[in-house]
Structure 1
Amino acid sequence: MKFTSVVTSIAVLLVSAVSALWALPISLQPRDVFVPPVTYPHNKTVWIVGQHHNVTWDTSDAPVNITNKIGMIFLRKGGLTTNLSLASNFSILLGRIVVEVPHVETGRDYQVVLFGDSGNFSPFFTITNV
């Protein structure tokens, strides 16, 4: 009986200690999700395979504390994001990054996706081989 009382007392002590730790205020710095609109390519853009282009986005209203400042750009075709990485590991605050147009099937149903805090799609544009 005495052993049970000791175990119960220890359990109550542990639960109290953990509860006290959870009650401590945690100092978190507020962060904002940054969703910069892609400005290029736009719906009249035609990219030719092998060329280099600047993918651009508007950083004019960037918050001070961005959740994720590291960007990546992927190619999207027909409403699905592909595994074709056009650029990665750059500051989302740059506002532009040079990419090389990959060898892909010709079509008008392409978009670039700018990842950082979120995924921002460009308008649909065309990629051609000529």
Structure 2
Amino acid sequence: MTATDPIHGEGKGPDRIFRDALAEGRFLIQRSRSSGRCYFFPRLVEPGTGATDLEWIEASGEGTVYATTVVRNRPEKGGDHNVCMVDLKEGCRMMSTVVDIAPADVKIGMAVRARIDTLNGEPAVVFVPAGQ
């Protein structure tokens, strides 16, 4: 994949670049060319250093649940759902949800893989158990 200018991004900000990629079925994260560290959420500069050498890379989609909770809702409001923090293989962490299993069955340390779904009418990264 060709790196995209993280600041100018063809006239788009980092969040728009990320969301446009999701709409195309691609899950992108950013990596600093100088430090090699990866980051999520999309941003203009590297935290701590202020470096502007961030490039876009395709995420492997592999991860591990770092933290999880069940949000309780009435059935007419969509029922319970999971909110979790996932450590991506590339080294960054992101907030998402694990789907296709009961919210209470999501466990810390569980291997997961990313999938792009539509949530509230927008493409979003969700996770499923790695074995599915």
TM-score category by the smaller chain? under 0.3
Greater relative contact order (Cα < 8 A, sep 6+): 1
TM-score (normalizing by structure 1): 0.23
Look at both structures and tell me which one has the larger radius of gyration over its CA atoms: 1
